[in-house]
Amino acid sequence: MILGALYIKAVFGEKDRQQANELITNIRQMFDDNLNKIEWIDEQSKIEAKKKLKKITEKVGYPDFINNKTKLNERLVNISNMKQDLPFSL
């Protein structure tokens, strides 16, 4: 996790992530718009396609907690606590 935080700081920052999310939002919107224009798909199929479109989740770049030092530290504490419970040493 710490290496991931350092990596995103150096290579894939918040601006890059926002641009990627904007691109995905535009693609989704275009898909939805085009779905309305297609004549060879019946209405029920369009409704089902739109339901599926709404269920798609994006995971772009990294989880939100990576940029939040408090949440990142909480995760690290949880990992340290898990190590104590292992039947072997790391």
* Structure-token match 């089902």, residue found: 48
Report the interhelical angle of 69-85 vs 2-10 (nearest 10°).
Answer: 150
Contact residues for 38 (Cβ-Cβ < 8 A; gap 6+) = 46
Contact 36, 46 (CB under 8 A): yes
| Rounded CA Rg of the chain | 20
pLDDT per residue rounded down to tens, the chain (90 residues)? 667 777 777 888 888 889 999 999 999 999 999 999 999 999 999 999 999 999 998 888 888 888 778 887 787 776 665 555 555 555
Residue spans of the domains in the chain: they are: 2-85
pTM for this one? 0.63
